[in-house]
Structure formats: C-alpha cells, structure tokens
Structure 1
Amino acid sequence: MRLEVDIASKTFKNAAGEQHDVIAGVAFALDAGEVGVFVGPSGCGKSTMLRILTGLDPDFQGRVSRPAGARIGFVFQEPRLLPWRSVEENVRLAAPLADEAKLSALFEILELNAHRNHFPGELSLGLARRVALARAFAVEPAFLILDEPLASLDVALAARMRDQIAMLMDNRSMITLLVTHDVDDAVRLGDRLFLLSPRPARVLAELPICTPRGERGDAEIAAIKSDVMRRINGDLPERESS
C-alpha cells in the first residue's frame, strides 16, 4: 500500500480574476506504516494540498495515486462535531460498524470513556479534539490525515495527546500524513519530515528520521529540531534530502 504524490502546480483565480500560485512543486511517496509530516508557514498551501490528496480538489497539474478503495480518516483543524449528537454518536456516525471492543479500547486510550454520553457543548477543546481523533481512528483508515490536531492546546495537554496519537499509530499499519506548525510535534511523531516554502509551496527539504518514535532520546530530538529550524530559517534554493 503506497501513496504517490506529484503536484506540479496549483493555481486559482480570485473574484477580480487575478491568478494566484498556491503550489509550485510538491512530490513525495509514503508507504503503509510511515508517518510523513509537512511543516510550513501559515498560508503556504498546506490545506489546499490536503484537499487535493483526498480528491476534493481535482483542479491541479500533476498526479496523486492513492491505494484503491482505501478508507480515509481525517482530523480537521477544528473538531467539527455535530452538537446535537453525543460523543459516542458522533463517532458511530462515521463508523457505524465499529467493533464494540475496539471502540472501547480507543475511548480508553483517548480518555473518553467517562464522556461517551456527553454532548460537544459540554466538552473542553482538548476533549473535543480527542473525539475527533476517535472518529478518525474508528473507521480503521488505510490513509490517515491529521491537520493541526493539537492546535490551540496548552503545552502539557498537547504533549499528553501527542503520546496518545503515537500509541494509536504504532498499533496500526496505515499511511499517515500530519500537517503541523509545531516542530516538536513533527520530530516526535514523524518518520519523514517535509519542509515547505512560503506560498507557492514547494518542498525545500525531506528529512528522514531513522530512530523509531519510542526510542528517540531527548538529545536526538533536540538535534533534529535544531537541524529543522536551521533549514526553516535558512535559504535553501534546492530541495535537499538527508
């Protein structure tokens, strides 16, 4: 199972008829079990890229090859829960055939068992984000997209949820694509990091991380983060791969 992406260009016209370049060259491939992370500045075209990858935007130059018939799990920047449905109902609407034992285990990992009958209006942002994660994992996706899943959370809560996401990913063989502004999240969760330029987006550097997530020590994480920040703040005229 493999995802192959080669987006040569993506443009759009605004209401005034002016053409804007959004993507100028994003090419990569991910295999099952790999976690690819895209790190780039706000407004660089990450959300546009995700719409292309899911087939929601076919108007681009290039090619995207997804596994045939693959289920897609998507965690959006906002939880996007139905306010008139309970936590469990929100999850089961996406995965009506979910096995009860697997669903209970998922709720246990994400600390949601005590909130199964609560409604979104009764939840904190952190809990709502956990429900969004549960919904995405419950469909047992072959291709999982996480779009800023930890945004706007305090440092301690984000770290706790990051560990929960890592645990869930490690128990599943799927292609995972994470979009984030947070270099710490990228380095702790990713297997391969893709650094994007400002709009129009292109891949400035591709950085593989060979050490498994659970075996990365603080010194190695700090060194990788330092390398990523150097590349982000530097001037990289050509795509690099280490």
Structure 2
Amino acid sequence: MRLEVDIASKKFRNAAGEQHDVIAGVAFALDAGEVGVFVGPSGCGKSTMLRILAGLDHDFKGRVVRPAGARIGVVFQEPRLLPWRSVEENVRLVAPLIDEAKLSALFEILELNAHRKHFPGELSLGLARRVALARAFVIEPDFLILDEPLASLDDALAARLRDQIAMLVDGRSVMTLLVTHDVDDAARLGDRLFLLSPRPARVVAELPIRTPRRARGDAEIAAIKSDIMRRIDGGLTERDAS
C-alpha cells in the first residue's frame, strides 16, 4: 500500500478571469501505517492539494498514484453532516452494514455513544468534528485524509481530540495525510512532516520523526516544534541545501 504524488503545478482562474498559481511543486510518497503531516500558512494551497489527492480535482499537472482499490476516508474542514439525520444515521450512511459492536467501540473512543440520537444542530463544534471522524473511520479506510480536523477548537478540546485521532490511527494500518497550520498537531501526530511555502505551495522541507507517537515526551515535542519554526522563519531547508 503506497501513495505516490508529484504535483508539478495547479492553477485556477477567478470570476474576473485572473489566473492564480496554487501549487508549484509537491512531490512525496507515503506508505501504509505512516502519518504524513503538511504544515503551511493559511491559504497556501493545502486544501486544494488534498482535493487532488482524494481524486476530487483532476485539473492539475503531474501525477498521483493511489493504491488500487483503496478505501478513502476524508474529514473536511467543516464537518458536513446531514442536518436531517441523527449522529448514528450520519455514520451508518457510509457503512450501512457496520457491526453494532464495531460501531459502539468507535463511538466509545470518540465519546459519541451518548449522542447517537442527537441531530447535528444539537451538537457543539467539537462533537460535530468527532462525528465527521467517526464517519471517516467507520469504513476502515486504507487512506485517510484529514483537513484541519482540529481547527477552531479550544486548546483543551483539541488536545483530547488529537489523542483520540492518534488512538484510532495507531489501531489500524492506515495511510494518513493531515494538513494543518498548527505545529503542535504536527509534532504530536506526524511520522513525517512536510513544510510548505506560502502560495504557490511547494515542499520546502521534509522532517522525519523517529520516535513513536506514544513515546514522545514534552521535551522532544518542544524540540520538534522549535525545529519546525526555525525552518519556517529561516527559510533554509534540507531540500534547498542539498
């Protein structure tokens, strides 16, 4: 199970007919069980890249080779739940034959068992994001795409949900791509970090993290975050220097 990506360029035209460069060079490969995290400033093209990788946007130059027959789970920036369906119905919609024991176990991890019959309008943003995660994980994806899944949450809630994501990812051999502008998310969740330039996005550094997620202490997390910020602020990267 392997994802191979080489996006040479992605452009679009706005309503006024003006052309904008969104991606100028993103190339990497990811294997099963790896969590790749893309860190970049807001508006740099991260979400556009994920739409390409998910097969939702074919208008680009380059190539994306996804594993044949891979089940793809996607969590968008907005939860995108159907407001007229309950939490359980929103999740069962993508996996109607899911075993009750498996569904309950997933809901237990995400603290959703008490909210099965609630509707999206009755949920906080944190709960809605958990339902979106449940919907992505319930299909037992081979390739998981997470687009800013912790955005707009307070620090305490983001930390709890981050731990839940780590638990779900570690319990499955799933190839995962997360995009974020939060270096804490990157340092705590990633196996490999890819730093992106401002738009048009290009990969300016690739940082492997050798220590497993569960074994990373506060000192190592702080060192990883410091390295990320140093590279972002300094503008010098491994790829540039090689």
Residue 238 of structure 1: how far off its partner (Å) = 6.6
1:201-240 matches, cutoff 5 A: 201-236=201-236, 239=239
Counterpart-to-counterpart distance in 2, 1:240 and 1:28: 15
Aligned to 1:184: 184
1:54-93 matches, cutoff 5 A: 54-93=54-93
Name the CA shift for 1:231/1:102 in 2 (closer, same or farther; >3 Å).
same
Counterpart-to-counterpart distance in 1, 2:19 and 2:5: 24
Counterpart-to-counterpart distance in 2, 1:241 and 1:98: 50
Counterpart-to-counterpart distance in 1, 2:75 and 2:101: 22
Residue 232 of structure 1: how far off its partner (Å) = 1.0
- Do the aligned partners of 2:205 and 2:237 also contact (CA within 8 Å) in 1? no
Name the CA shift for 1:59/1:131 in 2 (closer, same or farther; >3 Å).
same
Percent of residue pairs bearing the same amino acid type: 88
1:20-169 matches, cutoff 5 A: 20-169=20-169
Counterpart-to-counterpart distance in 2, 1:153 and 1:224: 22
Runs of 4+ off more than 4 Å: none
Give 1:179's aligned amino acid: V
- Do the aligned partners of 1:207 and 1:241 also contact (CA within 8 Å) in 2? no
- Do the aligned partners of 1:26 and 1:201 also contact (CA within 8 Å) in 2? yes
Deviations 1:4-24 (A, max 9, x none): 000011111222322211110
Q: Secondary structure at the match of 2:105?
A: helix
Deviations 1:136-173 (A, max 9, x none): 00011110001000111110111011001100000001
Aligned to 2:194: 194
Counterpart-to-counterpart distance in 2, 1:59 and 1:194: 23
Structure 2, unpaired ranges of 5+: none
Structure 1, unpaired ranges of 5+: none
RMSD: 1.4
Counterpart-to-counterpart distance in 2, 1:182 and 1:237: 19
TM-score calculated relative to the size of structure 2: 0.97
